[in-house]
Amino acid sequence: MKRLLTHRMLVVLPVLAAAFAVTAAAQASTIGQLQALGAAKVYLSSGHFSRAGLIDQLESPYGEDFSHSDAVWGVNHAHANWNAEAVQAARRTCARATSRAVPSSPSSNPRTVSTSRTPRLCTA
């Protein structure tokens, strides 16, 4: 019986700790921070950003125009997988670079594309 209670406590305690942490974070946040968090999640769901790029987007007057501290708080609490975001951003960059490549010369086959302006990462 004691072993069963110990097992249940080990299962329940992390759940309670996580719920308390979320509640504490929500209580400690300002309206600007919560809005920055929401905007960060929207940007992450619609595109792929680096952490710094997302902070810049949230701070930009052409983006959301959040303060630096609110933007950083929102990005930190968005819980993004930055490695996965980097991979997807690189793929997007390579796709754009290869689609913008120009034919190597006007007399050559138009299907032959020069990769001189394509980043080396994309040509490997």
pLDDT at res. 30: 94
User: Which tops the pLDDT comparison, 7 or 123?
Assistant: 123
Instruction: Report pLDDT digits (tens) over 1-26.
Output: 555 445 454 444 454 455 455 555 55
At residue 10, the pLDDT reads: 47
Give the pLDDT of residue 5: 44
**One-letter amino acid of 120:** R
15 or 31: which leads in pLDDT: 31
Q: Which residues make Cβ contacts (< 8 Å) with residue 44, sequence separation at least 6?
A: 54, 78, 80, 85
**pTM, to two decimals:** 0.59
pLDDT digits (tens, 9 = 90+) for 36-73: 999 999 999 998 899 999 999 999 999 899 999 999 99
Neighbouring residues of 83: CB distance < 8 A, sequence distance ≥ 6: none
SS (H, E, C) 1-35: CHHHHHHHHHHHHHHHHHHHHHHHHHHHCCHHHHH
Instruction: Give burial (CB, 10 Å; 0-12/13-18/19+) of 4.
Output: exposed
Domain segments of the chain as ranges: 2-102+109-123
Structure tokens at 43: 């940007």
Structure confidence at residue 28 (pLDDT)? 64
**How many Cβ atoms sit within 10 Å of the Cβ of residue 36?**
28
The 3-state secondary structure of 43-108, one letter per residue:
HHHHCCCCHHHHHHHHHCCCCCCCCHHHHHHHHHCCCCCHHHHHHHHHHHHHHHHHHCCCECCCCC
